[in-house]
Amino acid sequence: MTANGEAAGGLGTGDGEALVALVGAPNAGKSVLFGRLTAEYADVSNYPGTTVETTAATVGSTRLTDTPGVHGISSFSEEERVTKEAVLEADAVVNVVDATQLDRDLFVTLQLLDMGVPTVVALNMMDELEADGVDVDVDALEAALGVPVVPTVAVTGSGVDELRDRLPEASAPASTPVDSYYDALPDAVEASRAEKTLLVEGDEPTARRVAARGLVADGGDAPLADAGAREAVYRERRSRVRSIVEAVEREAGPGRAAEQRLGDLLMRPMTGVPIAIGLLAAVFYVMGVVVAQRVVGYAEGVLFDRYYNPAVEAVVADLLPGGEWAAPVEFLLVNGNLGLLTITVQYVLGVLLPLVVAFYLMIGTLEDAGVLPRLAVLTDRGLSRIGLNGRAVVPLVVGVGCVTMAVISTRMVGSRRERLIATALLGLAIPCSAQIGVITGLLAGLGLAWWVGYLAVLLGVLGVAGVFLDRTLPGRAEPLIEQLPRLRVPRPGNVARKTANRSAAFLREAVPLFGATAAAVSTLDYVGALDAIVEGLRPLTAALGLPPSFGRVLVLGLIRRDFAAAGMTDMALSASQTFVGLIVVTLFVPCILTMAMILRERDARSALLVWVGSWVTAFTVGGAVAAALEVIA
């Protein structure tokens, strides 16, 4: 039996693998509960056709999938679309409900039951409910819903065994008040109860699915109820939620006031903005200074440059015999730009791994503390002017530490459109910390006016590019809809577990892609294609008033951005040439590692857009600046 069927019974016990989806609101504890139920993370991947991650694991005869956090089963966001597909495919659902947010989370619970999806409710965060001085009558809630309800505390494992035992009891009521709205649909529609509920609620992808199966008489269009039916269903469902909450929830003692006061401070502009700036400065310091400069600098400068790379080069030289065929193989394995056994391993273990771990530690801590949504709300108004919402503040700040990790963090931004805008801006006008270090040294000798000019140009490009992308990309910006979780002290074990599993999953997917990219670039280098690029750039560098050798600087920037800036330190350039050169290398295409991540996180078309857009912008802005400086001079 599947959720698409009409039966209201529990999870099947046949010989096939049962599909169970964890569904709930963001920050309800789904991922922690998933880890408790499965004892491991596995198969972390993007849902087909999306950039939204899902996690799945097999436990016995059950395939368990952790879906994105949502406030409804519909198609209003990419997360909702992914969750809806998982629900429609599942045999049963574990609906994770935040016990402290019953009035919010029971809307999804009732929607699942209206759809006829066999459900078990995990009433999570019972410890925090008790600390709030509130009590929920679990038996009364189970009777009101008509499905099993299991109180849990996912972070400690309390109730998880009972939840696992009661999973076969997953069920749904034989009928709900929404059944009466099916009359709003055309009589010829043949669809499951789940699909009929979604049709009444105006879900267009479901309508197209039903029409494509030929279940509409006379080849009619996709069947949808009018908007009035959807609003009526929503009002009725919210009314049921209020009635249930009033019946099962009661005050049991004094609650917590300190967390509420701190939460209020974070949301008031006068106090919240300074706190947010301090938190973002801490994120930048950890990512951009401690990790990107000190940890990565030690790993590259000492561990790899002094010990690992020379040892590997010696071993390869000893193992490979002489001959024409050995030369290209040796170059591919140990060349000084992107050798597969030397520089590529150095990037993965010495650069990428520390940044990945640090990033997930920082994000995991902010998530666990409930701070991340508040940062999004505080910065939403400003970022909305460049086509983004408040969730983009973290990628933009992380980008100043490492653009590669910032591209990964765009997953937390709203729609596919906003992720593309954030990715393009990161690849275009956000210098990474390694590049900033070299740029700072070059600008230090020019004076404060050049620093101000450099920042003004970058901010201007960032603003113009954001507005341009916002107005030209199809679709429209999605408003920030953020349910603020309660503030809490982060749990180190939970943060460490999420960091380890996310980092391992990321490296499993990223390493093969980066290895293939490095091999391709090394091949181009060996056959002289990179030198051809340098020669082809001569007219452009001349138009910028820069020497022909600047083309070599740009080619180095293809490999790593800081290599480009560092390459300028050995060139005899005037102050205006240095300024123009720094503008160009900052706006020039992202490094090879970032491009690999853009290709992985977005798609080939988006990567090409960023690539070509960076070339055009770098030389256009650089040429304009060069012309302006010549006029001023």
pLDDT digits (tens, 9 = 90+) for 344-362: 888 888 877 887 788 788 8
Q: Is 26 annotated as a binding residue?
A: yes
Residue ranges per domain, the chain? 15-255, 258-476+493-632
Q: What is the mean pLDDT of residues 167-178?
A: 92
CB of 82 within 8 A of CB of 134? no
Q: What is the pLDDT of residue 221?
A: 53
Rounded distance between C-alpha atoms, residue 55 and residue 77, angstroms: 19
CA 452, 454, 459, 460 torsion-angle sign: positive
Q: Is 50 annotated as a binding residue?
A: yes
End-to-end CA distance of the chain: 78
Position with higher pLDDT, 76 vs 177: 177
Q: What is the mean pLDDT of residues 398-421?
A: 79
Q: Is 622 annotated as a binding residue?
A: no
Average pLDDT along the chain? 81
Residue 49: band (very low, low, confident or very high) from pLDDT cuts 50, 70, 90: very low
Q: Is 51 annotated as a binding residue?
A: yes
Q: Is the pLDDT at 589 greater than 90, yes or no?
A: no
Q: What is the pLDDT of residue 215?
A: 52
Q: Is 626 annotated as a binding residue?
A: no
Among the four given CATH numbers 3.90.100.10, 3.40.50.300, 3.40.718.10, 3.40.50.1820, the one describing domain 15-255: 3.40.50.300
Sheet holding 62-66, edge to edge: 45-46, 53-59, 62-66, 18-24, 92-98, 119-124, 149-151
Q: What is the pLDDT of residue 5?
A: 42
Q: What is the pLDDT of residue 253?
A: 62
Q: Please count the CA atoms within 13 angstroms of the CA of 158 that sit on its side-chain side.
A: 11
Angle between helices 592-601 and 604-632 (to 10 degrees): 140
CA 383, 384, 386, 388 torsion-angle sign: positive
The pairing of strands 92-98 and 119-124 is parallel
Least-confidence region, from 190-194, 219-223, 618-622: 219-223
Give the list of residues 6+ apart from residue 629 with CB closer than 8 angstroms, or none: 576, 579, 580
Least-confidence region, from 44-53, 316-325, 530-539: 44-53
Q: Is 67 annotated as a binding residue?
A: yes
> What amino acid occupies position 433?
S
Q: Is 328 annotated as a binding residue?
A: no
Q: Is the pLDDT at 619 greater than 50, yes or no?
A: yes
CB of 431 within 8 A of CB of 400? yes
Q: Is 309 annotated as a binding residue?
A: no
DSSP count for the chain of H helices, then E strands: 30, 9
What 3-state DSSP class applies to 15? coil
Candidates 12, 25, 345; CA nearest to 167 is 12
Q: Is the pLDDT at 438 greater than 60, yes or no?
A: yes
Q: What is the pLDDT of residue 434?
A: 66
Q: Is the pLDDT at 51 greater than 50, yes or no?
A: no
Q: Is the pLDDT at 222 greater than 60, yes or no?
A: no
Q: Residue 62: beta bridge partners?
A: 18, 59
Q: What is the pLDDT of residue 118?
A: 96
Residue 310: band (very low, low, confident or very high) from pLDDT cuts 50, 70, 90: very high
DSSP string, 209-275: HHHHTT-SGGGPPPP---HHHHHHHHHHHHHHHHHHHHHHEEE-S----HHHHHHHHHHSHHHHHHH
Q: What is the pLDDT of residue 254?
A: 59
Rounded distance between C-alpha atoms, residue 292 and residue 581, angstroms: 24
Least-confidence region, from 235-239, 253-257, 384-388, 588-592: 253-257
Candidates 133, 366, 337; CA nearest to 250 is 133
Position with higher pLDDT, 8 vs 283: 283
Task: Express each pLDDT in 520-575 by its tens digit.
Answer: 888 888 888 878 888 888 888 888 888 888 888 888 787 777 677 777 877 888 88
Q: Is 24 annotated as a binding residue?
A: yes
What 3-state DSSP class applies to 318? helix
Q: Is 27 annotated as a binding residue?
A: yes
Q: Is 29 annotated as a binding residue?
A: yes
* H-run or E-run covering 114: helix 102-114
Q: Is 116 annotated as a binding residue?
A: no
Please give the share of the chain, as a percent, with pLDDT higher than 70.
Answer: 87
Task: Express each pLDDT in 101-120 by its tens digit.
Answer: 899 999 999 999 999 999 99
Position with higher pLDDT, 375 vs 467: 467
Q: What is the pLDDT of residue 433?
A: 66
Q: What is the pLDDT of residue 303?
A: 93
Q: Is 61 annotated as a binding residue?
A: no
Rounded distance between C-alpha atoms, residue 355 and residue 288, angstroms: 9
CB of 407 within 8 A of CB of 497? no
Q: Is 127 annotated as a binding residue?
A: yes
Q: Is 389 annotated as a binding residue?
A: no
Q: Is 68 annotated as a binding residue?
A: yes
Position with higher pLDDT, 305 vs 35: 305
Least-confidence region, from 166-170, 265-269, 290-294, 489-493: 265-269
Pick left, alpha or beta for residue 82 (phi over 0 → left; psi -120 to 50 → alpha; otherwise beta).
Answer: alpha
Q: What is the mean pLDDT of residues 172-181?
A: 89
Q: Where are the alpha helices (DSSP H) in 389-447?
A: 393-401, 403-409, 416-429, 433-444
Q: Is 38 annotated as a binding residue?
A: yes
Q: Is 25 annotated as a binding residue?
A: yes
